[in-house]
Structure 1
């Protein structure tokens, strides 16, 4: 990873997978200039769901979250780029698609709070990225590689 890069965890939720939106979502991040360093098509089991949503345990909506995230396959990914977590969050839109601007992933592809297509690490939660990446990926499942277009995405990419 070069000095300005950060990795962030992103997941296409079961509704996004069912609606055939994986390609659309991946394309948006690629178009933006982010680099995919890990991807996994998988079913989340109860145990992983409980770990992933651990902070919400005991809240009234917790069981619904677990039930939904385990209801079908998901596509888990790790993206890398400058300030990647904040970039991805702004591209996703608000948690509630109804409040998300057109042009964002949720603003274009979602209508309902419970089925909001995508999850991304919270840039305001220190360590959320590392925690979520480690939950879903082993270190050897993440690939270090050079994006050929980097010099056309970052003005200083040719300098180091």
Structure 2
């Protein structure tokens, strides 16, 4: 079994609606470990780095506004094939398409004006996961570098 790490963000709508505990419970009930957890606020600079592939898209300003609405819970989780597992647990990006029983299917909303509130983000591949973890948990990068230099 290959152990993977991933970044999960509980977005401002999930925090505001008090879904933090339920989402963490779902992650742990799947047998995944929570290795890092913090309440944080996004900044425009951080979001531009996180969504680097979307910065020049016409919808980026909507993403930025959404992610700046309030606090975010950033989670580092690990487990066997966790990246795929969390994607299944989260459900389709569009809450209207997400199956009942998934995080987005149960807690996400799509409003009539096209505003999307899909509650969580999760990394889509191992390289992006590591890059995103470094962005959202910069304090761990220093610790990990120190551990590597000791080896």
Cα distance in 2 for partners of 1:84, 1:52 equals 20
Match of 1:133 in 2: 133
Structure 2: stretches of 5+ with no match in the other structure: 145-151
User: Which residue of 114, 117, 121 maps to 2:116?
Assistant: 114
Q: Deviations over 1:97-151 (max 9, x none)?
A: 111111111111112261100000013xx5111110111112339xxxxxxxxxx
Match of 1:156 in 2: none
User: How many aligned residue pairs are there?
Assistant: 137
Which deviates further from its counterpart, 104-113 or 39-48?
104-113
Match of 1:39 in 2: 37
User: Which residue of 91, 94, 102 maps to 1:93?
Assistant: 91
Q: CA RMSD in A?
A: 1.4
Match of 1:49 in 2: 47
Cα distance in 1 for partners of 2:69, 2:47 equals 11
Moved over 3 A (4+): none
Instruction: State the secondary structure of the residue aligned to 1:94.
Output: coil
- If the length of structure 1 is used for normalisation, what is the TM-score? 0.81
Structure 1: stretches of 5+ with no match in the other structure: 142-160
